[in-house]
Structure 1
Amino acid sequence: MLRDIDFTKKVTVLTGDRPTGPLHLGHYVGSIRERIRLQEAGAECFVMVADAQAYTDNIENTRKVAEAIPQVVADYIGCGIDPDRTTVFLQSAVPELAELTMLYMNFTSVSRLERNPTIREETRQRGYEMVMPSGFLCYPIAQAADITGFRATHVPVGEDQLPMIELAQETAAKVNRAAARDILPEPVAVLSTTGRLPGIDGKAKASKSLGNAIHLLDSDAEIERKVMMMYTDPDHLTVAMPGKTEGNVVFAYLDAFHEDRDEVAALKDHYTRGGLGDVKLKKLLVRTLVELVGPIRERRERVIADPKGIEAVLRKGSAAARERVAAVMNDVRSGLGIYRLA
């Protein structure tokens, strides 16, 4: 949480997203909202379009990644990330990150990667139990390189990404021990005040691949359609019947996005007593989400209509990012005593 960050000291933030499709409300509440708050608080912010990471499970569909890159940049700017105050860059345009990743592979065992609970869950989702691409297994190491390559002190993430931050902390500590001096800070996770956002089906987290998310580019009609499909309480058969709020996706979204906390608390009390229908709740959620997503969608439409502008943002940001990581890479090489040709 931002209130736990000491802004009297330099705060450097690194975050990013895989460009495999347009972003959705899960991304917004899980990380993007915190990035914007950090930007407004004056932190030094780097936001990465993680195309190299996206290839770890999309190498046979690289066109999908390429087509999603401008969409993700448009989502960022639509949400309020300002390229004049936040460095937005393309991961593959900073080759020093790949070199840093290769070095870090020597600090991390295969068994450590296989124990990573996020990797285990994503392996199950993708059906990689028998055949896992080595790039996919090792992408937590690449994330550690991304984070430490900018000497990031803070990383906004969802709770499911905490194991990745732990590995970055371990890696920074190992490099510092090997160098016998502090080269890299150990990054701190900045968690959203909202927990993981469920999918509209209530069965899993909101996900592009599972098709159960509300996207930042969705029209008002599409938002309404998806909200009306939302999982509530299957035993709440009539308005008069008491209902359950736990596991109820509509209430999860109202908790995440409705600004009047007292009103949501009163609605929960009413619902559990009985006398409050699902349709009334869903209509309130539709209004709430349309008010949030509408302005984001309008801004992103203006951005996506200017592909040269998007490319200019990425070129400028990637040049600045490469300069930053090259300096850190030189410090790591020096600290580890790695031979270099003059």
Structure 2
Amino acid sequence: MTDNTSNSSRPRVLSGMRPTGRLHLGNYMGALYNWVRLQHDYECYFFIADYHALTTDYADPSLLKQNIFEVALDFLSAGLDPEKCTIFVQSHVPQHAELHLLLSMITPVSWLERVPTYKDQQEQLREKDLATYGFLGYPLLQSADILAYQPDFVPVGQDQVSHVELTREVARRFNYFYSPKRVVSGEGSAVITEPDPDHLLLPEPQVLLTPSPKLPGTDGRKMSKSYGNSILLSATPTEVAYKMQSMTNGGQRPTADVPGDPDICPVGDMHRLFSSEQVLTQITTGCRTAAIRCDECKLLAANSINHHLAPIRERREELEDNPNKVWEVLYLGRIEAEKRAEQTMQAVRAVTGLSRDRSGVRLERAASSVQDAEDARNLSSFKHWWDSPAPLLSRNLRELWKRDLVPTGTPLKPDADGVWITQNNRRIFVATATQSNGNESWNFSVKPKSYEMLVLLCWGSDYRLRDFVVPQKLYLAQWVAAKKQAGKNNIEFSVKHEGGKYVLNLPGASGIDVTATEAGYQILGD
């Protein structure tokens, strides 16, 4: 089972950003500014999504590594602290690609084709060939990025909520196939199983809505490097002033003596984000009374932006003088990220048959495989079963018994619930119980029918399974009497460990020593 704990008691958050070059103010206010605040209250993992950059820019990766470095510089200069959060490069943690591949085995293609951005980006980037598996699958890679760390929250703006929903759907489907189940009541008297919400292998992350203020580019559209309308986070004061002077005023104030409305002006948006209340009051009054010219308003906005960016520029210059520090942050971040992602992958590999140990592999029950059989009886890795509802516990123990303890090649055919038929048409009932509190005893409840053999699976508090294969000749007379006494009720009986022996106690009868029947599977073929 995946351990979703860490040394931090804080809720876990994960997010990433594509390395398409130096970050601009839109990237900063849309995500990075909030990340810096989140790191103080959450256990945060922030990554540079270089795989995602290749989904659209695979034809020319010549600038990819430089862009990774530039984004890392921007992360650190904006205030992400490697002492408070984990910063790493996506491709440096191989578990991202591994989980993406495994999730692709269960994810319907139609789920990916319906993602809104799939066709939108193909339309916007017509000059690129995006009819690739990588581009189709990038939302699933996003899901793998998230689920590998089992975060409690994914911070997004309102317009990105739908992106997280695919991740939740994929996690739900994975859990349906592979997570431990619990028994619940269905319609009428039906009993059904569903993933146990307390033991989900891939918990569904929640959305953490973060402020995403309106920040236009210099032409009034969304700020984007591809539009050529962005102001870089690393821009010099002169560059900021130049960019702001070129910013549209939304078509207002054709002459300086015509009043305007800063509430519908892109320059006004910049003031609302970066200017002090005093400056904001000054330009609001001045614009509406035509007491201030647009170029003066833009210069004040540039001054406010530069005041905000001054400490960021200073930290960036220090890091540029010491690039080894940046690479060290990414190296140490990779170690921490891989440690957390590997916890998830160990559980995922185990349930998908890809674990790297020998668990689940059976050999013929020859002398050389005695140790394998003994290892199969050690159920310490299944402790979470112990308090399961009785029907689910019985099902799990019986499946383990059939898979790992019954000798390979033994012909058994399932019949009714808990009943198997041998090749000689003998009925075997497999009964299960966990150890009673305070003593070494196991209590069973079995339908009053005739069985040619009982298999009693006794799970002890030491998490070792003891399996007794009891032939009918040992208990026939006592069983007939117990059936008569029980009537239409179940037969209640027990196995107790007393005096160094395991004793089967049926109602109204002397105890039957079944010690010698432990693991006595040779009689199944008789």
Distance 1:247 1:340, change over 3 A: same
Distance 1:91 1:242, change over 3 A: same
What whole-Å deviation, never above 9, does each CA across 1:26-68 have from its counterpart, x for those lacking one?
Answer: 1111111111111122x11111011111111122221211111
Equivalence map 1:1-342=2 (5 Å):
10-41=10-41, 43-127=42-126, 131-178=130-177, 179=179, 180-181=195-196, 182-203=200-221, 205-245=222-262, 247-260=264-277, 264=280, 267-268=283-284, 271-272=287-288, 274-334=290-350, 336-342=351-357
What whole-Å deviation, never above 9, does each CA across 1:72-93 have from its counterpart, x for those lacking one?
Answer: 1111110110112111111111
Distance 1:128 1:149, change over 3 A: farther
Q: CA deviation at 1:208?
A: 2.3
What whole-Å deviation, never above 9, does each CA across 1:110-144 have from its counterpart, x for those lacking one?
Answer: 33323322333322221179742321221111111
**Inter-partner Cα distance in structure 2 for 1:300 and 1:148:** 32
**Inter-partner Cα distance in structure 1 for 2:320 and 2:172:** 41
8 Å CA contact retained: 1:223, 1:290: yes
More helix by share: 1
**Inter-partner Cα distance in structure 1 for 2:212 and 2:276:** 13
SS in 1 for 2:62: helix
8 Å CA contact retained: 2:157, 2:211: no
* Percent of aligned pairs sharing the same letter: 34
What whole-Å deviation, never above 9, does each CA across 1:217-266 have from its counterpart, x for those lacking one?
Answer: 10000000001111112132123323244552112222222343x86367
Q: CA deviation at 1:163?
A: 2.5
Distance 1:131 1:15, change over 3 A: closer
Q: CA deviation at 1:9?
A: 6.6
Say what the alpha-carbon RMSD is for the aligned residues: 2.4
TM-score calculated relative to the size of structure 2: 0.59
Asked which structure has the greater CA Rg, the reply is 2
**Inter-partner Cα distance in structure 2 for 1:186 and 1:110:** 20
Distance 1:233 1:155, change over 3 A: same
TM-score calculated relative to the size of structure 1: 0.88
SS in 1 for 2:215: coil
Corresponding letter in the other structure for 1:39: Q
Q: Identify which range, 116-125 or 14-23, moves more after superposition.
A: 116-125
**Inter-partner Cα distance in structure 2 for 1:120 and 1:254:** 35
Structure 1: gaps (5+ residues): 1-7
SS in 1 for 2:225: coil
**Inter-partner Cα distance in structure 1 for 2:317 and 2:283:** 35
**Inter-partner Cα distance in structure 2 for 1:114 and 1:156:** 24
More strand by share: 2
Distance 1:58 1:240, change over 3 A: same
Q: Identify which range, 303-312 or 117-126, moves more after superposition.
A: 117-126
